[in-house]
Amino acid sequence: MPLEQLLEAYADRVEKALDRFLPSPDVEPVRLHAAMRYATLGGGKRIRAALVYATGEALDAKSEHLDAAAGAVELIHAFSLVHDDLPSMDDDDLRRGRPTCHRQFDEATALLAGDALQTLAFEVLASSDVDPAIIHSRLAMVKMLATASGSNGMAGGQALDIEATGQSLELEQLIGIHELKTGALIHAAVMFGALAAEEETGTVHDNLDQFGRCIGLAGSDLAANKATFPAIMGLQAARERANSLLETALASLEPLGDNGRSLADLARFIVHRHY
């Protein structure tokens, strides 16, 4: 399947899963539920969900496990955007061409909606109808998602970014911040696909770990929404760096053979859409 079609199919699929996971807008507290749905549904390329699906499919993971894994990653991503946009953080009025959650609702509701979206991600992973055979991998996903989101992941990157405001940073520091803010969750998305597949072997696991790290780092710059790297390192150097990360990522897919084709396309898409 051409990548564009594949991305659309994955986005559709995670959208339907998220619609099921999110609380109904008719159930109290209706305003909170409306805000959670507003912040999550109908948006973005769903790159993280696509990474979960493509990795899981490359390893023949069961379809229903992938929906929970992809949904959880997108819920964490949505939570982080809602809180990043708040007045005490980036104070943004628009997100994907629509008013941000606190502009559409109010600040308190946006704060609580973000909190509840984070909670829901973990609830989805721990959902009580989990097949006993995958309890182990679900608990591993909880651990991995928590690490990618917490003070040594997304929240930590955000904190370092705030501390660094107005300071001039070394390139390495900047890369470190972006890796935490964005790369950690992209890496987790790849590993979620691997964890959802019961048959995955040690070698493939390590290879996907490397793939996830490279794509995460290459993608960090993109999702940071600021073209800071090119400004510091020069556009040519940035391109070279991204291409070198992409080469390493693609090489680590080799053991998957033809099964890794969608993942490879996705990696090229993530790295090239900016450079």
Based on the shown chain and the rule CB under 8 A, indicate whether residue 257 belongs to the binding site for a second copy. no
**C-alpha triplet 82, 105, 88: angle, nearest 5°:** 45
Judged by CB under 8 A, the chain residues 142 through 161 that form the site for a second copy are 142-143, 145-147, 149-152, 155-156, 158-160
- Is the N-terminal amide bond of 29 cis, ω within 30° of 0? yes
CA distance 262 to 268: 10
Is 93 one of the binding residues for a second copy (CB under 8 A)? no
**DSSP-assigned beta bridge partners for residue 98:** 95
Tokens of 92: 């943004």
How many residues form the binding site for a second copy (CB under 8 A)?
54
Q: CB of 118: closest distance to a second copy in angstroms?
A: 6
Nearer to a second copy, 58 or 180 (CB): 180
> Of 29 and 234, which has the nearer Cβ to a second copy?
29
Which one among 6, 120, 215, 245 touches a second copy, defined by CB under 8 A? 120
Question: Could you tell me the sign of the dihedral formed by the alpha carbons of 142, 66, 196, 245, in that order?
Answer: negative
Write out the binding residues for a second copy, residues 47-66 only, by CB under 8 A.
Answer: none
Site track 162-201 with a second copy (rule: CB under 8 A), x = hit: xx--------------------------------------
Which residues of the chain form contacts with a second copy (CB under 8 A)?
23, 28-29, 31-33, 36, 79, 83, 86-89, 106-109, 111-112, 114-116, 118-120, 122-123, 125-128, 130, 132, 135-136, 138-140, 142-143, 145-147, 149-152, 155-156, 158-160, 162-163
